[in-house]
């Protein structure tokens, strides 16, 4: 996963695209990567905790948010992280194909 992401960054950085386009590409990839996390982790968060936070969002703190992500990513022998890696790798492959399509080698 890290190697694929580094490859994409290098391809974009080395391309002849204007800096504004490069920045937009990096921003799009970054936002996409962030958006991938929650759908994968949600299925590993206990329903009671999600319901509790939904009913009382004022109880969410930075620490409780970090704990929630840490707990979800560590459950079931790290299966959440394996699932996340699979999803991220698929998306990075797709990004690579789009870059190739637009001749960003």
User: What 8-state DSSP symbol labels residue 105?
Assistant: -
CB neighbours of 37 closer than 8 A, spacing ≥ 6?
69, 84
Radius of gyration of the chain (CA): 17
pLDDT of amino acid 69: 78
pTM recorded for the entire structure: 0.73
- Number of Cβ within a 10 Å radius of residue 49: 14
Helix ranges (H only) for the chain are 2-14, 19-42, 47-55, 62-101
pLDDT of amino acid 97: 95
Instruction: Spell out, as residue ranges, where the chain has pLDDT lower than 70.
Output: 74-76
CA distance 36 to 65: 17
Phi/psi at 51 (nearest 5 deg)?
-65, -40
* pLDDT tens, residue by residue, 55-68: 999 998 999 888 88
* pLDDT tens, residue by residue, 30-46: 999 888 888 888 888 88
CB 42 within 8 A of CB 34: no
């Amino acid at each position: 996963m890290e190697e694929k992401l580094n490859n994409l960054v290098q391809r974009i950085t080395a391309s002849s695209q204007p800096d504004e386009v490069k920045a937009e590409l990096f921003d799009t990839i970054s936002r996409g990567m962030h958006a991938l996390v929650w759908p994968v982790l949600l299925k590993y968060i206990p329903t009671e905790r999600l319901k509790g936070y939904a009913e009382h969002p004022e109880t969410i703190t930075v620490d409780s948010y970090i704990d929630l992500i840490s707990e979800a990513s560590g459950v079931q022998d790290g299966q959440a992280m394996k699932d996340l890696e699979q999803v991220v790798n698929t998306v990075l492959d797709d990004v690579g194909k789009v870059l190739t399509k637009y001749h960003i080698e």
